[in-house]
Structure 1
């Protein structure tokens, strides 16, 4: 077996932990996949210190968008996107809205009707 193997051309690969400096939790905010994100302003030319991924998130979130949609569009793990969103939130470059839990619990008769409807 040769000591030097040919690796397929994978193109530039940036590990998600490099984008987040090894962090696995956001510095600010609590996000889930259906949290809605919206930029407070578009990226500006004088945003020299802004990572390319952060600028891209700002561009993608000009309109309300979910964390899951951002992760898919950026082709990044959702956890990485959440850490990056925490950075943007700390800089007040985004606002977020988390889903609210449903109010009240369905009554037993309603649940039984749903089960009967599904099994019938």
Structure 2
């Protein structure tokens, strides 16, 4: 129980607004297939922002320089799934341009030699733990 005038939550409690509230209950974004490595940047000149939620304005401000979707998520302290939906909305509205990562071809089942070296390095690091 809290006494009169005491705060009923603290900083460790985290956000009081659930992620699905930010996306208005949506779990799927627009038709854009966004990877966490997809780069997004605001267009120039910047059209008028149609959304009133602060997260949209924050994304537009942050993306004045190219950012990956993962970076946007980290900077705004939002889950990646929520960030993908919000970024997708801004792409649909014409406020952001995006570029998928070079090696995001889902039909490519063969790993390049560079990919294999990275996987070996990760495996070695895990073994050292």
Does TM, scored on the shorter chain, surpass 0.5? yes
Q: Is the contact between residue 67 and residue 81 of structure 1 (CA under 8 Å) also seen in structure 2? A: yes
Secondary structure of the structure 2 residue equivalent to 1:8: coil
Q: TM-score, normalized by length of structure 2?
A: 0.67
Report deviation, 1:48: 6.3
- In the alignment, structure 1 segments of 5+ residues that lack a partner are none
Deviates more, 1:28-37 or 1:7-16: 7-16
Output the CA distance in 1 between the equivalents of 2:63 and 2:76.
12
Output the CA distance in 1 between the equivalents of 2:19 and 2:111.
40
Query: Number of aligned pairs?
Result: 106
Cα deviation digits, residues 72-99 of structure 1 (max 9, x gap): 0000000000000111011010010001
Output the CA distance in 1 between the equivalents of 2:61 and 2:45.
6
Give the alignment's Cα RMSD to 1 decimal.
3.1
* Structure 1 equivalent of residue 25 of structure 2: 22
- In the alignment, structure 2 segments of 5+ residues that lack a partner are 3-7, 125-129
- Higher relative CO (CA 8 A, sep ≥ 6), structure 1 or 2? 1
Secondary structure of the structure 2 residue equivalent to 1:18: helix
Output the CA distance in 2 between the equivalents of 1:71 and 1:98.
16
Q: TM-score, normalized by length of structure 1?
A: 0.71
Secondary structure of the structure 2 residue equivalent to 1:100: coil
